Structure 1
Amino acid sequence: MSEILDLSGRVALVTGAGQGVGRQVALHMAAHGAAGVVVNDYFQERAEAVAAEVEKAGGKAIAVQADVTSFDAVKAMVAKAEAQFGKVDILVNNAGNAGANPDPDARKPFWETGPEAWNSFIGVNLYGVINCTAAVVPGLIERGAGRIITVISDAGRAGESGLEVYSGAKAGAAGFTRAIARTLGRYNVTANCVAIAATATPAIKARLEANPERTKKMLSNYVIRRPGEPADVANMVLFLASGASSWITGQTYPVNGGFSFAL
């Protein structure tokens, strides 16, 4: 019996993969037989470090620096991926938060800021998704198969006080994904989202451990009273990238410990 999560012969491009969730997604892809993993990050050294981890584990990877908010940079990244591996079958839009160089005012109440701060969120979380998707779609259509998986946030599903623009950008990415799913279904290309909540990436884990009382209060809002782990998210991304999900498209799957529920 064949392994249903096997990615043999397929090439994955993971944005924002130099750390945290993206890093684990890249490692998951390689561990399940991907023919190649394109590790993207805004910082070349982070991308190279994760690509080296993939290679050490027996996979094949290249590190490609690119700012996903730049369509020209994204097109160049995809061209490098295709030159190395011949194609891109799986796109994981993981790059997010406020980007690599967030505006210092990005965390202030949005009405006290302006477009420059707002674009810290909109650029990477919405335009980044659109740019990367546009760059890979022609190849997916030509080959008649593919997967597009976008990592959003429960902020985009339920809204998050203090993160209004971020919430809107993530909701926009989910809406874009639903629309592109309708467009590409006829070509055997699926598009889905994974909505995550508090996930213990190294940076978040340090903040959680620094204030145990605050963390305990936060986790009281979760049915499963622990923060997520990057592997929790990577497991769902792997499922959506694999043949196990071939009849699923246009959906948003919360991976959130029960922080919010979905019908």
Structure 2
Amino acid sequence: MSVATHESILTLTDRVALVTGAGQGVGREVALTFARHGARAVIVNDFDESRAKSVAGEVESEGSRAVVMVTDITDYAAVTARLRAAVAEVGGLDILVNNAGNAGPRSADASFDPFWDTDPGDWNAWLGTNLFGTLNVSRAALPALLESGNGSIVNVISDAGRVGEPHMPVYSAAKAGVAGFTRALAKGTGRLGVRVNAVSLGSVRTPGVEAMIADPQAVDAMLKQYLIRRLGEPADAANMILFLASGASSWITGQTYPVNGGYSVSF
């Protein structure tokens, strides 16, 4: 008697994905996870060409085709032109992961001053990458995703957008804006074959938080706020994003899923 075998419901076979901010951290892990689960091609976006090319090489070593898309996502015209070229090169687009965050190319200059000591010029870096960048890439990608007829957008937000972080009010506002955009877009595209969901992250061990976690005492104090007493790893985020990108979540849209070690809880 033979034993039936079943294909994993997390497979991305024949699917093409775009991952923004894929040159490091969570984005890199998502690109590699997609490749390991059979994605036909991964478009690797980053504003840093060397990082994007490095991850593209890793993607190809996992058996998927990789296309490098070097773009600052705050530049709508550049995003539109380069994404159109990438989609034409790989022959379509099925999945978009809006992962690029922090303050993009301007992260080193981003202000952490109290809000009352800032001005609009300090806000642009946070709003540009996290909110407007997500809008730019989504708008540019939607024609191809709609043509796919089975598209998925996953927006990576932060628990800062759900509960608020006092030292990052504009970042919190930007991520909350993406959460609202997720729900609204899902309502507009659900009947057209594109699902839209969000993943809300707590503190994940990435290059963007290296300075923050360099002090063991600071980490211990931070982890007291987490029910699971450890930092998140990029794979924790990538696994949920894989689920939302795959057919395993085919009846899910308009939702935000916390992946946060219990930093905040919701129903």
How many angstroms apart in 2 are the aligned matches of 1:21 and 1:142?
A: 28
Calculate the TM-score normalised by the size of structure 1.
0.97
How many angstroms apart in 2 are the aligned matches of 1:169 and 1:189?
A: 23
Q: How far did 1:204 drift? A: 2.4
Report what 1:246 is aligned to: 250
2:160 maps to 1:155: yes
Kindly tell me: are residues 50 and 231 of structure 1, through their superposed partners in 2, closer, same or farther at Cα, counting changes over 3 Å?
Answer: same
Contact preservation (8 Å) 1:81, 1:88: no
Report what 1:137 is aligned to: 142
How many angstroms apart in 1 are the aligned matches of 2:55 and 2:148?
A: 28
How many angstroms apart in 1 are the aligned matches of 2:242 and 2:110?
A: 35
How many angstroms apart in 1 are the aligned matches of 2:109 and 2:208?
A: 18
How many angstroms apart in 1 are the aligned matches of 2:119 and 2:10?
A: 45
2:210 maps to 1:194: no
Report what 1:123 is aligned to: 128
How many angstroms apart in 1 are the aligned matches of 2:7 and 2:145?
A: 24
Counterpart of 1:237, as a letter, is I
Contact preservation (8 Å) 2:92, 2:148: no
How many angstroms apart in 2 are the aligned matches of 1:111 and 1:98?
A: 19
Counterpart of 2:97, as a letter, is V
CA displacement, residues 24-59 of structure 1 (integer Å, 9 cap, x when unaligned) = 000001000001000000111110000011112222
Gaps of 5+ in 2: 1-5
Deviates more, 1:101-110 or 1:236-245: 101-110
Counterpart of 2:261, as a letter, is G
How many angstroms apart in 1 are the aligned matches of 2:110 and 2:130?
A: 17
Counterpart of 2:126, as a letter, is F
CA displacement, residues 160-190 of structure 1 (integer Å, 9 cap, x when unaligned) = 1111000000000110110000000001210
Question: Residue 172 of structure 2 aligns to a residue in which SS?
Answer: helix
Contact preservation (8 Å) 2:103, 2:110: no
2:210 maps to 1:232: no
The match for 1:20 among 25, 38, 50 is: 25
1:25-64 residue pairs with structure 2 within 5 A? 25-64=30-69
Calculate the TM-score normalised by the size of structure 2.
0.95
Report what 1:102 is aligned to: 107
RMSD: 1.2
How many angstroms apart in 2 are the aligned matches of 1:41 and 1:175?
A: 25
How many angstroms apart in 2 are the aligned matches of 1:202 and 1:179?
A: 32
Counterpart of 1:212, as a letter, is P
How many angstroms apart in 2 are the aligned matches of 1:105 and 1:26?
A: 27
Contact preservation (8 Å) 1:43, 1:65: yes
Q: How far did 1:202 drift? A: 3.6
Q: How far did 1:103 drift? A: 7.0
Report what 2:3 is aligned to: none
Number of residue equivalences = 262
Report what 1:213 is aligned to: 217
How many angstroms apart in 2 are the aligned matches of 1:129 and 1:51?
A: 22
Gaps of 5+ in 1: none
Identical counterparts, % of pairs? 55
Counterpart of 1:233, as a letter, is A
Question: Residue 102 of structure 1 aligns to a residue in which SS?
Answer: helix
Runs of 4+ in 1 over 6 A off after TM superposition: none
Deviates more, 1:85-94 or 1:73-82: 73-82
